[in-house]
Chains A and B, each alone.
Chain A
Amino acid sequence: MRISTAWSQQLSFNAMSSQQVKLAKLQQQLSSGLKISAPAEDPAAAARILDLDKSITKTEQYQSNIAATRGRLNLEESALEAANNIMYKAKDLTIQAKNDTLNSSDRLAIKYEVDQLLEELAGVANTRNANGEYIFSGDLATVPAFAKNAATGTYAYQGGLQQRALQISPTRQVADGDLGFNVFENINSSSPAADENGKRSVFNTLKALSDGLGASLNASSGAITGDRFLRYGLDYTSSTTTFDLVANGGITAPIDLSGQKFTDVNSMVTEINAQLTAGGFSGAIQARSNGNRIEFASVATGATSSIQINNTSGTFLTDAGFADGQVNAGAGAQTFQAQLSDVLTDLDAALGSFLDARSSVGARLNALDNQESQNEKYVIDTKSTLSETQDLDYADAISQYQLQTTALQAAQQTFTKIKELSLFKYL
């Protein structure tokens, strides 16, 4: 076999060039610390790295969601604890007030204290977090959870109806708070002053205590509240809706909202009251807002006072959350002792509601801890898989680097040696 001079040169060059390519590749690996620098080097691993990266960033997002949820639940926990303490003080004061030896000025002194507690509790229920959100307002986070109702002189819930949840794992969501409605307002009560559903808000309970201490043992009046969210009003621009309000078993007031549009609950209340006044019913029936809901009440009090709603035409009853023919009667005034006994029972019920909320918060915090450590373990495992997939084995790479260097040197040396061999030198 013969070899041409140019080809023998080319062969040596090819050898050196391929060594240099391998060296450059190793150098790139050593300086980046990565096994593969382009998907072509290991296409399956490249796709796997994207997946692993996604899992890690996603799970790290869950971790920060957990941190945010925990912060909010801790804030709620301390608000509930403050509410608890207020309840204990209120109970102490109630028990103290039930003592028959107290005279009216002693009771008035306690009343002032109770009034303070009421304001304090309203402050707790309107706690805001660092973002300025009202923590008990649910999805209406920018609106205070409880506002003073001008008509009843107590506080009514005006927050949202849905509690926000945060994602803490691909499949798990945790509520980051509780609705003020469930914690403070929707509390079981056996008092005659309870609403038609047998509920009394803790604010109403404290108000009843305060009223009792102020020697006004009020009889209640018949009242019905729609259970729909009417904050943004109702629109009857192009529809007919009429209904009747019947007070004290006989006085029937027809209400016609056809062709009107209301942007909030108060404008609706104003309109209905105006129609009642115009029809001469304002002495018997009144409409008022209860937070985001609408409420109708008879003006008279006592067992004979009642209010009923009857549909005549249109969808108002469904829209506002009433049943056709829904009726509620008032109750007569209680004795001082009976009123305070009911208050005491309801304060216990409120304490129970706070306790339920606290234990639910505790359970959620616990779930967060569990999920957090699961997520953490998942991130560590995934990161180690990722590292195995993409990181360079330095020991291996360095020894290969040395081997390649030696090989390149050998190729270079043989090249110069071979080039020295030429017959022309001897001519």
Chain B
Amino acid sequence: MSGLLATSLSGLMAAQRSLETVQHNISNVNTEAYSRQRVQQSTMTPRYTGDGYIGQGVQVTNITRSYDQFINKQLNSSLSAFGDADRYHQLSTRVDNIMADPSTGMAPAMNRFFNALSGVANDPTSIPSRQVLLSEAETLAQNFNALSSQFEEIRTQNNSDIGTRVNDINSLAKSIANINVQLTSAIGRSGGAILPNDLLDQQDALFSKLAEIVNVSVVPQQDGSSSVFIGNGQTLVLGGSSAEFTAFQSEYDPNRLEIGLKTTNGVINVTSQISGGSLAGSLSFRDEVLDPAQQQLGMVAAGLAMEVNALHEQGFDLSGTAGLALFNFSGDEEIPVIKNPLNTGNAAVTVNFQDVNVNPSAAGNLDFSDFKLKYVNAGGGVDYTLTRVRDNQVINLTATDTMSPMGKFALSFASTQPANIDVSALPGIDITVDLSGGQTISVGDEFLTRPTFNAAQKIGVNITDPKKIAAATNIEIDPATKQPVLDGLNNPVIIKGPMPGDNSNALKLAALGNKLGMLGGSTSFNGAYGQIVSGVGGLTRASELSSSAQQTLLNQAKESREGLAGVNLDEEAANLLKFQQAYQASAQSISIARSLFDTLIGAVR
């Protein structure tokens, strides 16, 4: 009789646990990373009697969560892939939008500048038309500056973003390590038989958040904790301890952030090992979209200034004096050179833009890349190598003593070159190594130079007086033959005085707008700018496609996780009914047991 009561009671208890679990599921229907839980029941050990085994009711063996390690792994790697593609797409869309904005668009400004030159050619004596040219030149320079500083602004934001994400990684790692500690003790308590479902869900949620930022590999350990690794096995979390990442300034460029792992031996640079997640998206956006776009813009600005200045300096202004540089971006301006801190020599290297009047293809040779100069002293005229950083193409350079002063070496394109290089000259820059006055250089010493990177930011207009625009060439012409008068050396004779109506230099300057002088003489300034626009547009488009493809994959992964682990309210309602009925039935059997007991008592009375 007491067995009857006990059996019913076990049913009642089991139904109650199940009802509690259903309610837990219902309450957590919208909880992120929650896995629905189920009560595992089994029969109690039956009692052996002469009649056979008599069931002793039900017992709750465990409460488990619907969980599949493979599905979760799939979800996390999809989160990483999507985080990467989506971040890249978001950022490149911003650059794309800037390029599309007609108010900052360089193309109209360039068109108006060359049209204004045409205007001066039409009316070289007119001060207003010269004034228009000056203000158009000013607008052009400002547009270069504005576009470049917008790039710079995106870079700053991207940097602070990278910093935030690194902090997020660190705090997530700390939380995961904390949960590891709790997990170890919770799992230890039951000897590994009963798992703390909600704690595991919480840790899974943290893994997912981490995966959104960076691709991680999670390795479950024997004691119930999980270790987390980044990249090529850099440990982020091991048991209850977590490593710390940091974003630090690049030695070559303070505006460039690198990712480092703090160790007892200092910070290890792990930037190249970061893959997946929004952090990788930010990094690859910078390397593939932002930096090349800024380099290319600088290349157009530098090329334009070099070509225009060279021609302008050949001309003569309204007062008959030789033209100055129109843009204050002369060939003499020094380009930043950064010494490798590990250099053992103390030699200084200077880099200048070449003068188009000396080397007519200087603007065409410009390349949108940083360059690394290295002293190799390999003999056979190969004294230095110059590495194009964007694709690591190496060219050999020969050093020649300029003799003034002694020990100053000018570097030139060596006669011996590696096979399959695509250039045949220096990239529009002159490099001088100064070994005068006892300065030294050692084999292996390196210098980084960034010719085009800041060029668009630095360009400005050098002339404020419209009379100083050099529209004239002042070449003496024989009026009858219309040919230039030549001097003893067969050079045209230059008139040394004002020729206010002479527009021949303005005509040449205006024709620069159509000159195929950029990118090795393959395209015009406008065309080179167009290549930036279509380049950024192409990358943005590709990233949009890959982002939406990754979105689909992510949705599929989420769907399979939700299909397995998500709470379905209708299902829970049905379960509610089921367990309610079981509870009612068990209660009813208790009531029947009581009436049986009453019957027995009544029979005895």
Contact = CB atoms under 8 A, between A and B. Distances in A.
Contacts of B472: 139
Interface string B85-99: 000000011001101
A28 interface: no
A25 interface: no
A365 B243 CA distance: 82
A39 B285 CA distance: 17
B573 A5 contact: no
A19 to B, nearest CB: 15
Contacts of B118: 61, 65, 167
B566 A229 contact: no
B415 interface: no
The winner among A54, A68, A140 for most chain B CB atoms within 10 A is A54
Interface stretch (A45-53, A76-84, A403-411): A45-53
Contacts of A39: 96, 99-100, 533-534, 536-537, 540
Contacts of A350: none
Contact of A58 (B115, B529, B563): B115
Contact of B125 (A14, A131, A173): A131
Given A40-B96, A139-B502, A423-B574, A232 B497 contact: yes
Given A39-B99, A39-B540, A165-B507, A6 B562 contact: yes
A427 B566 contact: no
Interface in A128-149: 131-133, 137-142
A166 interface: yes
A174 B107 CA distance: 28
Given A43-B541, A58-B114, A423-B574, A140 B563 contact: no
A232 B476 CA distance: 12
A181 B569 contact: no
A10 B559 CA distance: 10
B570 A422 contact: yes
Contacts, number: 206
Contacts of B576: 427
B443 interface: no
A294 to B, nearest CB: 15
Interface string B553-584: 00100110011011111110110110000000
Interface stretch (A112-120, A156-164, A278-286, A367-375): A156-164
Interface string A1-14: 11111110010001
Contacts of A235: 496
Contacts of A165: 503-504, 507
Interface in A173-207: 173, 179, 181-182, 186
B152 interface: no
Contacts of B476: 161, 228-229
A348 to B, nearest CB: 21
B544 interface: yes
B566 A58 contact: no
Contacts of B187: none
A44 interface: yes
Contacts of B100: 37-39, 46
A11 to B, nearest CB: 8
A162 B504 contact: yes
A7 B479 contact: no
A39 B100 CA distance: 6
A57 interface: yes
A53 B99 contact: no
Interface in A23-79: 37-44, 46-47, 50-51, 53-54, 57-58, 61, 64-65, 68
A126 to B, nearest CB: 14
Contacts of A250: none
B122 A58 contact: no
B93 A40 contact: yes
Nearest to A5: B569
A46 B534 contact: yes
B300 interface: no
Contacts of A4: 36, 562-563, 565-568
A61 B121 CA distance: 11
B533 A46 contact: yes
A135 to B, nearest CB: 10
A186 B479 CA distance: 10
A229 B495 CA distance: 8
Nearest to B105: A50
A65 to B, nearest CB: 6
A318 interface: yes
B479 A161 contact: yes
A137 B573 contact: no
A39 B99 CA distance: 8
A137 B499 CA distance: 11
B201 interface: no
B336 interface: no
Interface stretch (B70-78, B206-214, B510-518): B510-518
B111 A142 contact: no
B577 to A, nearest CB: 7
B538 interface: yes
B571 A2 contact: yes
Nearest to A4: B566
A164 B502 contact: yes
B500 A43 contact: no
A3 B565 CA distance: 9
Contact of B507 (A53, A64, A140, A167): A167
Interface string B453-483: 0000000000000000000100111111010
A173 B504 CA distance: 11
B115 A47 contact: no
A46 B507 CA distance: 29
Interface in A195-254: 227-229, 231-232, 235
B168 interface: no
A420 to B, nearest CB: 13
B479 A5 contact: no
B124 interface: yes
B501 interface: yes
Contacts of A68: 122-123
B299 to A, nearest CB: 16
Contact of A6 (B513, B526, B534, B566): B566
A166 B125 contact: no
Interface string B511-532: 1011000000000001101110
B567 A141 contact: no
B192 interface: no
Given A2-B568, A6-B562, A65-B122, A181 B479 contact: yes
A338 to B, nearest CB: 29
B540 A38 contact: yes
B485 interface: yes
Interface string B162-184: 00000000000000000000000
B501 A141 contact: yes
B121 A54 contact: no
B481 to A, nearest CB: 11
Interface in B375-427: none
B103 interface: no
Contacts of A47: 530-531, 533-534, 537
A54 B107 contact: yes
A347 B416 CA distance: 72
Contacts of A163: 482
Given A4-B563, A50-B533, A38 B96 contact: yes
Contacts of B125: 131-133, 141-142
B108 interface: yes
Interface of A: 1-7, 10, 14, 37-44, 46-47, 50-51, 53-54, 57-58, 61, 64-65, 68, 131-133, 137-142, 160-167, 170, 173, 179, 181-182, 186, 227-229, 231-232, 235, 318, 422-424, 427
15 contacts: A10-B558, A42-B537, A43-B534, A50-B107, A57-B115, A138-B501, A139-B501, A142-B500, A161-B476, A162-B482, A162-B499, A231-B495, A232-B495, A423-B569, A424-B573
Lowest 9 CB-CB distances: which A-B pairs, in order? A4-B566, A141-B501, A39-B537, A232-B497, A43-B537, A40-B540, A139-B502, A423-B573, A7-B562
